[in-house]
Amino acid sequence: MKKITVIFITALLGTFIAIPANAVEKAEKKKKAPVTINADKMQYLQKENCMVAEKNVVVALDDQSLMADKVIAFQGINSDGKQDFTRIVATGDVVIKTPERSLYGKKAVWNRNENVIRFTGNPVVKIKGGQEISAEVIKYNVLTGKVTFEGVAKAKMKMSGKNNIDFSGF
Q: Compute the average pLDDT of residues 116-129.
A: 92
Do the domain assignments include residue 23? yes
Pair 20, 40 in one domain: no
pLDDT tens per residue across span 5-38 = 333 333 333 433 444 555 555 555 555 667 889 9
Q: Structural domain of residue 43, as residue ranges?
A: 35-156
Residue 167 located in a structural domain: no
81/140 same-domain check: yes
Q: Does residue 87 or residue 85 have the better pLDDT?
A: 87
Q: Are residues 103 and 28 in the same domain?
A: no
Tell me, yes or no, whether 136 and 77 share the same domain: yes
Nearest to 54 by CA among 65, 66, 43: 43
91 belongs to a structural domain: yes
In order of 2, 8, 50, 117, 135, the CA distances from 14 in angstroms are 18, 10, 46, 34, 39
Please check whether residues 93 and 23 belong to one and the same domain: no
Q: Is the pLDDT of residue 88 over 70?
A: yes
58: left (phi over 0), alpha (psi -120 to 50) or beta: beta
* Tally of domains in the chain: 2
pLDDT in tens, 62-72: 778 899 999 99
Q: What is the DSSP letter of 62?
A: T
Whether residue 42 has pLDDT greater than 70 = yes
